[in-house]
Amino acid sequence: MAATAVAALALTGCGRSDDTGSTSGDTSTGSSTGATGGFPADSLIGVSLPQKTSENWVLAENLFKDDLAAAGFKADVQFANGGVGEQQNQIQSMVTKGAKVIVVGAIDGSQLGTQVKAAKDAGATVIAYDRLLLNTDAVDYYVAYDNFQVGVLQGNALLEGMKAKKPNGPYNIELFAGSPDDANAKVFFDGAMSVLQPKIDDGTLKVVSGQTQFTQAVTQGWKAENAQKRMDTLLSASYASATLDGVLSPNDTLARAIMTSVKAAAKPLPVVTGQDSEVESVKSIMAGEQYSTINKDTRNLVKETIAMVQALQKGEKPTINDDKSYNNGVKVVPANLLKPLIVTKANAKEAYANDPTLSKLTQ
């Protein structure tokens, strides 16, 4: 199912995960065209990240700077807060500076083809980080958490949370998705709907607004204010008398915005999912408000990415555990996938035991 969904689009998202071991045991290599000759140990490595839309991207920036330097590389780590044009210019600049590997966390994975082709033409290896680069053959590897599985976990959490509050359905729900320019957003949504759609079809779930399509559920720019405005509209239009039992939220920032809207309408909080294990949402989960989040440890994702860079520096093939699923529209990109973890109040202490920040919130 995941392979089918991803082949139709492509993946990503960002976060933390107590799962300190990745699923990188398989070392099959797929059909990469990445450099295999190696390069000097002190070479420049470029890292182009998107806007600072979540605390996990900020964490990734700091980790890449520190960990690449600790590994002996020169690091050029930049955020593209000015948008796609700025990211295009940043990648081109990294090419000009002679970066041997360029790691790209794309704002819009479909608009960087020219720049990553320039990187490949210059002899660099391109790694898509967290968000797949689309419609180009100039990408060698993909490293991310399994984002279709993220959606599956969110869909199951929504069902379990509502059943815990009200053992017998039917349940009234609403659906939110991420930004349509993020390739991961559709994959998260499709993963969740693989769980929820059968329950909608058999009448267990009712989307009172009738807005069940991805295009109806999207949240442009992953912006909290956009999610809150849409929730305000849904509540006033569809829940004057009906009870809202649950909301599928694709990440923590939007989950908090959705709950803010519900509180402002003086209605009981529904079961709300999330993703990224943001500090404020973990606090909310422990307080019994937000129901769940997804733990996708950014430390592990950066660690696996740098392990890829180190392998390339030595002229070796990086670890790959999926060489079939991630079709970006032009090629199947060899991927190293990490395992996401669902977190609720019941397992938060265990899930964050090794996280120096979040473990303090679960005591």
Output the pLDDT for position 28: 39
Contact 231, 261 (CB under 8 A): yes
**pLDDT confidence band for 130 (50 / 70 / 90):** very high
Contacts with 47 (C-beta within 8 Å, 6 or more apart), sequence order: 61, 64, 68, 75, 76, 77, 78, 102, 103, 105, 129
pLDDT by residue (tens digit) across 243-295? 999 999 999 999 999 999 999 999 999 999 999 999 999 999 999 999 999 99
Which among 159, 157, 129 is positioned nearest to 141, based on CA atoms? 129
| Cα–Cα distance for residue pair 84/127, rounded to 1 Å | 18
Contact 131, 166 (CB under 8 A): no
Output the pLDDT for position 7: 39
pLDDT by residue (tens digit) across 152-183? 999 999 999 999 999 999 999 999 999 998 88
| Cα–Cα distance for residue pair 231/198, rounded to 1 Å | 24
Question: Could you give the C-alpha distances from 14 to 195, 196, 203, 346, in angstroms and in order?
Answer: 22, 23, 33, 23
Q: Is 47 helix (H, G, I), strand (E, B) or coil?
A: strand
- Interhelix angle 252-264/279-286, nearest 10 degrees: 50
Residue 165 CB coordination number (10 Å) = 15
**pLDDT confidence band for 77 (50 / 70 / 90):** very high
Q: How many CA atoms lie within 13 A of 337 on its CB side?
A: 23
Contact 245, 217 (CB under 8 A): no
DSSP 8-state symbol, 102: E
Output the pLDDT for position 55: 78
| Cα–Cα distance for residue pair 171/159, rounded to 1 Å | 9
Torsion sign over Cα 141, 125, 50, 293: positive
Q: How many CA atoms lie within 13 A of 306 on its CB side?
A: 22
pLDDT by residue (tens digit) across 188-247? 999 999 999 999 999 999 999 999 999 999 999 999 999 999 999 999 999 999 999 999
Residue with tokens 């210059």: 122
Domains of the chain: 2-145+297-340 (3.40.50.2300), 148-295 (3.40.50.2300)
User: ∠ at Cα 100 (96, 101), nearest 5°?
Assistant: 105
pLDDT by residue (tens digit) across 284-337? 999 999 999 999 999 999 999 999 999 999 999 999 999 998 999 999 999 999
- Interhelix angle 252-264/224-238, nearest 10 degrees: 40
Given a cut of 70, whether residue 361 has pLDDT beyond it is yes
| Cα–Cα distance for residue pair 45/43, rounded to 1 Å | 6
Which among 147, 130, 146, 154 is positioned nearest to 342, based on CA atoms? 154
Q: What average pLDDT does this structure show over 112-130?
A: 97
pLDDT by residue (tens digit) across 4-63? 444 344 333 334 333 333 333 344 333 344 445 799 999 999 999 998 877 788 999 999
| Cα–Cα distance for residue pair 263/52, rounded to 1 Å | 27
Contacts with 110 (C-beta within 8 Å, 6 or more apart), sequence order: 134, 135, 181, 183
Max alpha carbon distance in the chain (Å)? Answer: 67
| Cα–Cα distance for residue pair 129/104, rounded to 1 Å | 5
Output the pLDDT for position 15: 40
